[in-house]
Structure 1
Amino acid sequence: MTNNNMTETGIFVHQFELGPWDNFIYLIGDRATRTCAVVDPAWDAPTILAEAEKLDVKITHILCTHSHFDHVNRVNEILEATDAPVHMMGEEIDFSGFKSENLVRHSPGDSLTIGQHLEITMMHTPGHTPGCTSYRIPDALVTGDTLFVNGCGRCDFIGGDPETMFYTLQDLIKKLPPKTTMYPGHNYGDKPTATLDTQLQTNPYLLLPKVEDFISHRMQGKTPNTPLPPEPKWHP
């Protein structure tokens, strides 16, 4: 699945699905300079590089929403091909021990500029992991495993916290304009993207006003501090 969105402000968002767990990979960048960031490079580096070549864009940054292997397991291969800086929230680095060449440690609210038109702001959105990051771009948010279409990230894995997730989602509702487009980290919904206002009508995790109700719903049938499953073998 691919999705291209060229905005009037001169930026683009290219979404494509990759891997056995329906991950969405993103190339977000500047039309004028044809430079971009790849968000959560995982599963197959040649496919990701081929997408960039098909679009005639150069990957100049690597953005990681969090450290789970299904979002970072091809960072090093993309790094070898691009020598791009790798951006991750400092709290996530401390939690996971993630290491790579060119690793840049970030704090909430940090921003970076790609090309002439694209400014990306790093929003700390913990709950799935302690250092989960969503990337704010004009009129949109790349949410990783924080918010899905009609869902949200699991909170039972090691480092997850359902109470924290509840307040993260409530904070996003308060801070973001209703027409903000959400670009999730997995294709788990009935469509690949959604706006915040539509999610406020249909996403059950945004419709629970009390933290205790959210925790009960999110953790139903789950065991806290569950290890991640082993990384599956997968070939495109």
Structure 2
Amino acid sequence: MQIKVQPMGVYQTNCYIVTKDGKDIIIDPGVNATEWVKQNITNPIAILNTHGHFDHVWSNAELQKDLGVKLYTPKEDAMLLSSSSWMPDLPPSTPDVLVEDDEEFDIDGIKVKFRHFPGHTPGCSTIEIGDAMFSGDFIFEKSIGRTDFPYSNPEDMKKSLEKFQKLDFDKTIYPGHGGTTTIKQEQQYAPYWIKQL
């Protein structure tokens, strides 16, 4: 499995392309991601969103149209794709698949597991493919997603961190901003963040 990453836009939001068995999955195509994505794929099969914030979904619609592949978005965040209180000029997009909490998919032979960790947004999720976990804005290296935005919920984030602490496996985490970390490493910091919330 190969993972390419490119930070996009003012917020340097990581857009990922996961290539496995000659097939490409695009994760969180943010601001002006279309050109980079198209230059780095050969056989796209899906677009996945970790959550609905504008800096992670900006290029959804353009890529749906240009690539002719399905868009998977956590169902609780679908409403964020059509309007943004911060970014009124957000290009609206419509998911082809509304992802249920903790739903698993077989996308053209590739296993994809969404794991629901609300708090930053109602639908905030991580996405597991192979030995990688794409954490969006739930978990970063030594940090967590903000809970002071519209639709954020500190109590939900606490419960999500408690759920995260119970994961009994390790994977490399590829967050929505910044560099990689691991599940085991960030589990050490979870108690600290739970106390802060």
TM-score normalised according to structure 1 size? 0.73
Identity %: 26
Q: Which residue of 2 aligns with 1:208?
A: 192
Q: Is the 8 A contact 1:162 1:214 kept in 2?
A: no
Secondary structure (helix, strand or coil) at the match of 1:100 reads coil
- Paired amino acid for 2:167: K
Equivalent-residue separation in structure 1 for 2:49 and 2:108 (angstroms): 19
Secondary structure (helix, strand or coil) at the match of 1:80 reads helix
Could you list the runs of 4 or more consecutive aligned residues of structure 1 that deviate by over 6 angstroms after TM superposition? none
Matches within 5 A, 1:156-171: 156-171=148-163
Match of 2:114 among 111, 118, 122: 122
Query: 1:137: how far off?
Result: 2.0
Match of 1:42 among 17, 30, 46: 30
Equivalent-residue separation in structure 2 for 1:85 and 1:149 (angstroms): 30
Q: Is the 8 A contact 2:53 2:81 kept in 1?
A: no
Q: Which residue of 2 aligns with 1:103?
A: 96
Q: Is the 8 A contact 1:89 1:131 kept in 2?
A: yes
Equivalent-residue separation in structure 2 for 1:199 and 1:87 (angstroms): 26
Secondary structure (helix, strand or coil) at the match of 1:208 reads helix
Matched, 1:27 2:9: no
Q: Which runs of 5 or more structure 1 residues have no equivalent in the other structure?
A: 1-10, 216-236
Q: Which residue of 1 aligns with 2:89?
A: none
Match of 1:196 among 183, 190, 194: 183
Equivalent-residue separation in structure 2 for 1:133 and 1:160 (angstroms): 13
Rate the CA distance shift 1:97–1:78 in 2: closer, same or farther, 3 A: closer
Q: Which runs of 5 or more structure 2 residues have no equivalent in the other structure?
A: 83-91
Q: Which residue of 2 aligns with 1:222?
A: none
RMSD: 1.9
Q: Is the 8 A contact 1:15 1:25 kept in 2?
A: yes
Q: Which residue of 2 aligns with 1:233?
A: none
- Paired amino acid for 2:175: P
Between 134-143 and 119-128, the greater mean CA deviation after superposition: 134-143
TM-score normalised according to structure 2 size? 0.86
Secondary structure (helix, strand or coil) at the match of 2:40 reads helix
How many residues were matched structurally? 187
